[in-house]
């Protein structure tokens, strides 16, 4: 598997508490990605991709609360801006063969 990264590059990493999401959803560098790390452990918690307008379109969750043990990690969420332009829902992605992540986001 070759190296793959978004055409707009990777933004400076963000460090923050476990259980939070990347704060930026708009106004980011076009076609870029941001990685979010646990400020205490250094573990990768989340990645977010932005479209050509710099708007969040895709998340990959590497670790978050799973008190009901119903998540597998990593798994992806897409941003459904068509449904709500102010507070878009972030449904979990399920691929055509049941996959939880989309290889086109890397
Ligand atoms: Zn999740």
**Span 49-90, pLDDT tens digits:** 999 999 999 999 999 998 888 889 999 999 999 999 999 999
List, as ranges, residues with CB under 5 A of the ion ligand 1. Answer: 61
- HSE, side-chain direction, 13 A CA sphere, residue 36: 20
- pLDDT of res. 69: 80
What is the CA(27)–ligand 1 centre distance, in A? 23
- pLDDT of res. 71: 84
**Span 18-52, pLDDT tens digits:** 999 999 999 999 999 999 999 999 999 999 999 99
- Is the pLDDT at 2 greater than 80? The verdict is no
What is the CA(90)–ligand 1 centre distance, in A? 9
DSSP E strand stretches across the chain: 14-16, 33-38, 44-50, 56-61, 75-78
pTM attached to this predicted model: 0.93
Euclidean distance between CA atoms 26 and 40, whole angstroms: 27
Q: How far is CA 11 from CA 48, 82, 94, in A?
A: 10, 26, 26
What is the CA(92)–ligand 1 centre distance, in A? 7
Please give the order of strands across the beta sheet that includes 14-16.
Answer: 14-16, 33-38, 44-50, 56-61, 75-78
Containing structural domain, residue 105: 1-106
Residue range 1-9: average pLDDT?
A: 80
What is the CA(20)–ligand 1 centre distance, in A? 11
What is the CA(9)–ligand 1 centre distance, in A? 23
Euclidean distance between CA atoms 41 and 84, whole angstroms: 34
The number of folded domains in the chain is 1
What is the CA(72)–ligand 1 centre distance, in A? 9
Beta strands 56-61; 33-38: pairing state: unpaired
What is the CA(64)–ligand 1 centre distance, in A? 7
């Amino acid at each position: 598997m070759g190296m793959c990264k978004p055409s707009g590059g990777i933004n400076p990493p963000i460090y923050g508490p476990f259980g939070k999401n990347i704060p930026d959803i708009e106004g980011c560098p076009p076609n870029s990605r941001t990685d979010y790390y646990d400020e205490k452990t250094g573990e990768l918690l989340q990645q977010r991709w932005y479209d050509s307008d710099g708007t969040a379109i895709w998340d990959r969750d590497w670790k978050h609360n799973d008190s009901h043990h119903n998540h597998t990690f990593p798994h992806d969420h897409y941003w459904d801006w068509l449904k709500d332009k102010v507070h878009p829902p972030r449904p979990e992605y399920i691929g055509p063969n049941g996959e939880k992540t989309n290889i086109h986001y890397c």
